Structure 1
Amino acid sequence: MTDIAKAAGCSQATVSFVLNRTAGMKLSQATRDRVIETARVLGYVAPTFPTKPNSAPRAPAMDGIIGFAVDQLATSPEAVVAIEGARQASWNAGNVILVAQTLGDPEMEPRTLRVLTTQGASALIYMAIFTREIVAPSYLYELDIPVVLLNCYTTDHHFPAVIPSEIAGGQHSTRHLIEHGHRRIATITGEPWMQAAQDRLKGYRRALATADIPFDPQLVVEGDWSASAGYKATVQLLSLEHRPTAIFCQNDRTAIGCYEALKEAGLSIPEDISVVGYDDEEIARHMHPPLTSSILPHRAMGQWAVEQLDSANDANKRFAITKLECPLVERASVAKPRG
């Protein structure tokens, strides 16, 4: 997926969603075609699996085992943080977490969930690594154990679901810059089809509107969550006749590239331009200067998911989506604008 993403000019997540035919993703046909053609040119072929996996009798349910299924485990730290939150909440009650990666594969995912239940899982946490609405597969509805959705939700509200409050997070990040006196604030987004990018941009625009700052489309540059995109976007912003005094990078990896471009241009952070990130990855506190960033609350979301399992038993109940705050961690990358 990394090879295909690099050649196709998109993120690894996009490649995963296209090749796994993930339902409910609002990707353009042009993007899908580009990814598939790139995979073909590079010689990659999709694996095949039996269309009817072997069924196995379910073992007697054992109290204290919680299944945790996530579509992508190795590509980002968020899943590990959520699992750790669930583990802490589970161990406090004497429970054990069994974790499985599914890649959202339509054949292997149901087999994986079946294994979790036959191993005695008496409840399931189902996580998507990228925040989004999902079309829940039928086998989730057919499980006779409590199911909680983490970082995703369904329109029918059949399952308890928790996601980050991304609009509020984007608004808080932008407002922080406004409170320091900035009025020409740029933002570098993620891929626009992703809900996190859409919501963080909504929060950015709401903060500007609330402060009576006119929206300038020149100050919004599309990225793909990568450091290289952050670098290119920052170079573009610096070429404007009236460059920004602050940049809201919609994740910390983008901010890494932003820092590099600013320093290459001979500009100081935050004396010349302030920078805010998002996600609060480990690297944020080690950047120079340390990066102000918002925490993605995946640990708290994992804890919340475990706490909701008892209330997830009612099949006739409809559950409101729970949104957890993304707290801003203030460090040394923001200051008042010069002059």
Structure 2
Amino acid sequence: MTDIAKLTGVSQSTVSLVLNNATGAKFSEATRNKVLKAAADLGYRLSTRDAVQPSKDERSLIVYIADEISTSPHPVVNIDGARDAAYAHGKMLAVYSTHGNADIEQQVLDAALASPNVFGVIYATVYTRKVSPPAALSQVPTVLLNCYTSEGGFSSVVPAEVAGGHVATEYLLRAGHRRIGYINGEHWQDAAKDRLKGYRTALATADLPFAQEMVRDGDWSSGTGFEQTLSLMREPNPPTAIFCANDLMALGAIEALKQLGHRVPEDVSVLGYDDQEIARHTHPPLSTVVLPNYELGRWAVETLLQDEHNRAAGAPVRHRMVKLDGPLVERASVRVITEEISPVINIISD
């Protein structure tokens, strides 16, 4: 999905809709043909599947419980991946949003788990965080998506945020940048902490000191990306590249640089994170790190199925926490610095 989206310039959701021949989807025939051609060029082979009818004798329903699905663009792509994996194995996905309300969550669990058709549960959160899963989940096969618990007892899948921060910063370093600004999200969130850790690790690996004056805290919005970029560029030795912890802040950074009269990427490079739809339509198009939302959803369901297969076969079920990497998408917002610094020759005369 990610490879096809990169080739065609459309979102992973659109790729999913095309490959699954979804009815009622609002995209052009040209977009459909472009996605199908890219899939074929990559060696992907479309298979014809008849709709799988749930059997009364089989547990065919996977319950997907999320705290939020409408406050961020990411959860719906998680659901796309989970749905496709469920369908591919003859299961149906039922999605519930609790708005983070414990009473609603309990009502959903009481109603959903009462069904004899329930195979298992995907328990998801909109932001990566530590959770204390409801007690009822200990009675049913469950996989945690975008969250984790220190007590064990559940497999979980989360984004590899430290690796993502490292990949982004390393990319800028390889492009020749040595003064790299970083605009983070809300510092108390796991994603912000880990992306910053990846940034610092990449600098250390390149034997570059961490410069606190090159880091600003934001709130994931384009407004703080704008304001914090203005702040970074007021430094006596401003950055030649700015890594933003999400695409919206990168959008604000690009606008701030334009207001200051700087060209992107000729004067200052900008790199984002997430690969939201907007990243394809900025001027210039934004280079960014993919947050692997589709793969997270798919992995959660496939792990749920594998754990149950092992349990039915009498094999031990080993709960684990998996961190999924996302690739870096190169577009046009990062410049490679190729100028060589001329050696300084001191001539001493008598």
In the superposition, the TM-score normalised over structure 2's length comes to 0.76
Alignment of 1:108 with 2:104, yes or no, is: yes
- Matched AA of 1:326: G
Distance in 1 of aligned mates of 2:136 and 2:86: 24
- Counterparts of 1:105-254 in structure 2, within 5 Å, are 105-119=101-115, 120-141=117-138, 143=139, 145-254=140-249
Q: Displacement of 1:134 after TM fit?
A: 1.2
Tell me the C-alpha RMSD between the 2 structures. Answer: 1.7
In structure 1, stretches of 5+ residues that fail to align are 1-59
Amino acid at match of 1:328: L
| Number of matched pairs | 278
Distance 1:61 1:118 in 2: 16
1:276-308 per-residue CA deviation (whole Å, 9 max, x = no partner) reads: 000000000111111011111111111111111
**Residue 89 of structure 1 aligns to which amino acid in structure 2?**
A
Distance 1:65 1:140 in 2: 15
Residue type of the alignment partner of 1:323? K
Matches within 5 A, 1:68-79: 68-79=64-75
Q: Which stretch of structure 1 is more off in the superposition, 98-107 or 226-235?
A: 98-107
CA spacing shift, 1:318–1:158, aligned 2, 3 Å:
farther
Q: Give the whole-Å Cα distance in 2 for the aligned partners of 1:61 and 1:200.
A: 46
Q: In the aligned structure 2, how far is the partner of 1:233 from the partner of 1:209?
A: 24
Residue deviations 1:18-74 (CA, integer Å, cap 9, x gap): xxxxxxxxxxxxxxxxxxxxxxxxxxxxxxxxxxxxxxxxxx985211100110110
Superposed CA deviations along residues 214-242 of structure 1, whole A, max 9, x for unmatched, are: 11000000000000010110010011111
Contact 1:90/1:96 (<8 A) preserved: yes
Q: CA deviation at 1:117?
A: 2.0
Q: Matched residues in 1 for 2:306 and 2:150: separation?
A: 19
Cross-structure match for 1:334: 334
**Percent same amino acid among aligned pairs?**
46
Matches of 2:133 and 2:86, distance apart in 1: 25
Determine which structure has more spread, i.e. the larger CA radius of gyration. 2
Specify the alignment match of 2:275 in structure 1: 280
CA distance in 1, matches of 2:86, 2:134: 26
| Superposed displacement of residue 319, structure 1 | 1.7
Q: Is contact 1:123–1:146 with CA below 8 Å preserved after alignment?
A: yes
What residue identity is the alignment partner of 2:101?
D
Once the two structures are superposed, what CA deviation does each residue of 1:84-116 show, in whole Å capped at 9, x if it has no partner? 001111111221110000122121111112222
* Alignment partners' CA distance in 2, 1:199 and 1:157: 21
Distance 2:122 2:76 in 1: 14
Structure 2 residue identity aligned to 1:90 = A
Q: Contact 1:271–1:338 (CA<8 Å) still a contact in 2?
A: no
Structure 1-normalised TM-score?
A: 0.79
Cα distance between partner residues in 2 of 1:312 and 1:153? 17
Point out 4+ residue stretches in structure 1 off by more than 6 angstroms: none
Q: Deviations over 1:135-176 (max 9, x none)?
A: 2232222x3x21000001111221110001000000000000
Distance 2:267 2:167 in 1: 22
- Is the Cα–Cα contact under 8 Å of residues 176 and 338 in structure 2 kept in the other structure? no
Q: What SS does the corresponding residue of 1:130 show, helix, strand or coil?
A: strand
Q: Which runs of 5+ in 2 are unaligned?
A: 1-55, 340-350
